Structure 1
Amino acid sequence: MGVAYSVGEVDHLYTFFVQWSPEMYTKDTKKSVRPRYVVGEKNNNNNNNNNNNNNRYLVVEKDKVDAISKLLSKHDTPAAAKNWQIITVKDSKRRPSVCSSEWSEVGETEEDLLPVLCDHSHLLDDQHLERLAAHMPARTQGYPWQLAYSTVVHGTSLKTLYRNMAGLDNPVLLVIKDMHNKVFGGFSTEPFKVSDSCYGTGETFLYSFSPDFKAYRWSGENSYFVRGHLESLQIGGGAGGFGLWLDADLYRGASYSCPTFHNQPLSTQQDFIVQDLEVWTLQN
């Protein structure tokens, strides 16, 4: 259930809220950890694919919605197409894409919030999101996730992946499907980049749905979280093996048990071929 508003351009709405009522959207406040509403652009079906990468979203708490409605009514803008909605995103069963042309309020659970995907995923469904949400850091919950890289969209190149990460300063979720249709990956507290040393924090983890979901958190034995080379991407390491390794073409990969996470191989085979790969980043 939502209410549509005619408010003009995306940047205008964003600036409007921040300048006139900044307390409603302060990403550093404790209250912003569990928002309940998203103010976002309602795309039409014909332009949906073209608009996804340019959308802006404001995540606000439930008690701010009435105040936003009053502000909009006091500061009228010229008539325009009804491009905006305020929607509720209350629980773990909400839609996997809030950027689609249809918006809905679903469910009543307060705790297990699913990531809100702003683009279509070829790899993640509701069951994947439900499992992953329980292991995501609390500071990521309730914020929209944007597709930063996809082999379907951007081709198979680690250099392109790094280029798409440039300028980002948010956590990222790596999702891989191999040729045996096994889904697995890792969560990094920093975007992937070429580096001379390892980066990341103890919130970094590996996960696998092969066959049942299992997350592998930091063991505390070393800090080999993530390291990027031009020829490979590595997550976890020590004792001669990587928890997850990808080559420069994002075609061949490997997963071994490593001291960083005490993980089992994420796929059914230690060496695997990538079928599809996606990287999602937090949009705040």
Structure 2
Amino acid sequence: MGVAYSVGEVDHLYTFFVQWSPNIYRKRNNKSSSEKDMATKKTVSNSKASKKWEIITVKDSKRRLSLCSSVDSEAEEYQEEDDALPVLSDHSQLLDDHHLLKLAAHMPPRTRGYRWHLVYSTAIHGSSLKTLYRNMAGLDSPVLLVIKDVQKKVFGAFSSDPFKVSKYCYGTGETFLFSFNPDFQQYRWSGENSYFVSGNLESLQIGGGGDGFALWLDADLYHGASFSCPTFKNAPLSTHEDFIIQDVEVWTVQS
């Protein structure tokens, strides 16, 4: 049979037990208080964290991602173009930034990041193939030949070796032709033959093996010609197969 106690009696009993065994009952009481404090702190922390959340729609999310992507891509594109623009040792009469960006992007990796040095210019050195050869004597680096004809067409060739007088063809598969007509066109080595470059005192020839050279210049750097040839499978570089030269520049890329 159970015993019933009033509320007052229960309080008296609890006070008695606390006084009789304080270590047991006070610890339990303190533990429950600390648990309450921890629960309170957790609630406050969660309420603070909840304030940091922001509800957005799927449409807004896509718009924000689109904006971030466009800004990042524009910055990367600007950085790439800025990095690709080579530094010239002298002002070019034939190449503007558009030409430089296109050419630099298609030149061999080993040439990138180096200053371009002007080796020969008809505006400075006069129109002479002999002078062109002489200015490259002792040079051991690739060269870029740039031509502008009287029709204002810009074209030329990148040669893995500097131009020189030789009985035999020289160069490697890095050699290529280019033209701005007005869009940039590049003609790489086809692999069909190795008639890259040959030169004598009467003319400079690039590409061959067919009915004509891909690029031919006379001793006075006045007359030129450009035909399709097996070495590069190219189209004629100028508007006409035979053309009159207005200016010539040769640049070398070296550290």
Conserved 8 A contact 1:253-1:274:
yes
**Residue 222 of structure 2 is aligned to residue 251 of structure 1:** yes
Name the counterpart of 1:62. Answer: none
For the residue of structure 2 that corresponds to 1:237, the secondary structure is: coil
Q: CA deviation at 1:238?
A: 0.7
**Residue 96 of structure 2 is aligned to residue 122 of structure 1:** no
For the residue of structure 2 that corresponds to 1:177, the secondary structure is: strand
**Distance in 2 between residues matched to 1:227 and 1:199, nearest whole Å:** 6
1:101-140 map, 5 Å: 108-109=79-80, 113-140=84-111
**Residue 213 of structure 2 is aligned to residue 242 of structure 1:** yes
**Residue 173 of structure 2 is aligned to residue 202 of structure 1:** yes
**Paired residue for 1:157, among 105, 128, 133?**
128
Conserved 8 A contact 1:221-1:259:
yes
**Paired residue for 1:272, among 240, 243, 246?**
243
Q: Residues 69-92 of structure 1, C-alpha deviation per residue, up to 9 Å, x if partnerless?
A: xxxxxxxxxxxxxxxxxxxxxxxx
Conserved 8 A contact 1:256-1:270:
yes
- Alpha carbons of structure 1 residues 194 and 170: separation in structure 2 relative to 1, 3 Å: same
Q: CA deviation at 1:188?
A: 0.2
- TM-score when scaled to structure 2? 0.68
Name the counterpart of 1:178. Answer: 149
**Residue 186 of structure 2 is aligned to residue 233 of structure 1:** no
Name the counterpart of 1:12. Answer: none
Which segments of structure 1 move beyond 4 Å, counting only runs of 4 or more?
none
**Distance in 2 between residues matched to 1:236 and 1:186, nearest whole Å:** 10
For the residue of structure 1 that corresponds to 2:170, the secondary structure is: coil
**Paired residue for 2:116, among 145, 167, 178?**
145
Count of residue correspondences: 178
The structure where helix makes up a greater share of residues is 2
Task: Give structure 2 stretches of 5+ with no counterpart.
Answer: 1-77
Conserved 8 A contact 1:173-1:188:
yes
Name the counterpart of 2:34. Answer: none
For the residue of structure 2 that corresponds to 1:108, the secondary structure is: helix
Supply the AA of the counterpart residue of 1:150: S
**Distance in 2 between residues matched to 1:283 and 1:119, nearest whole Å:** 14
Conserved 8 A contact 1:225-1:237:
yes
Conserved 8 A contact 2:120-2:250:
yes
**Distance in 1 between residues matched to 2:85 and 2:112, nearest whole Å:** 7
Name the counterpart of 1:215. Answer: 186
Q: Residues 163-204 of structure 1, C-alpha deviation per residue, up to 9 Å, x if partnerless?
A: 000010000000000000000000000000000100000000
For the residue of structure 1 that corresponds to 2:248, the secondary structure is: strand
Conserved 8 A contact 1:171-1:191:
yes
**Distance in 2 between residues matched to 1:146 and 1:132, nearest whole Å:** 15
- Alpha carbons of structure 1 residues 168 and 232: separation in structure 2 relative to 1, 3 Å: same
Q: Residues 119-143 of structure 1, C-alpha deviation per residue, up to 9 Å, x if partnerless?
A: 1100000000111112100000010
Task: Give structure 1 stretches of 5+ with no counterpart.
Answer: 1-106
Conserved 8 A contact 1:114-1:141:
no
**Distance in 1 between residues matched to 2:204 and 2:81, nearest whole Å:** 36
**Distance in 2 between residues matched to 1:117 and 1:179, nearest whole Å:** 25
Supply the AA of the counterpart residue of 1:218: W
Supply the AA of the counterpart residue of 1:266: L
Q: CA deviation at 1:110?
A: 7.9
Conserved 8 A contact 2:81-2:101:
no
Larger radius of gyration: 2
Q: CA deviation at 1:111?
A: 9.1
Name the counterpart of 1:281. Answer: 252
**Distance in 1 between residues matched to 2:206 and 2:80, nearest whole Å:** 34
Supply the AA of the counterpart residue of 1:191: P
Q: CA deviation at 1:283?
A: 2.8
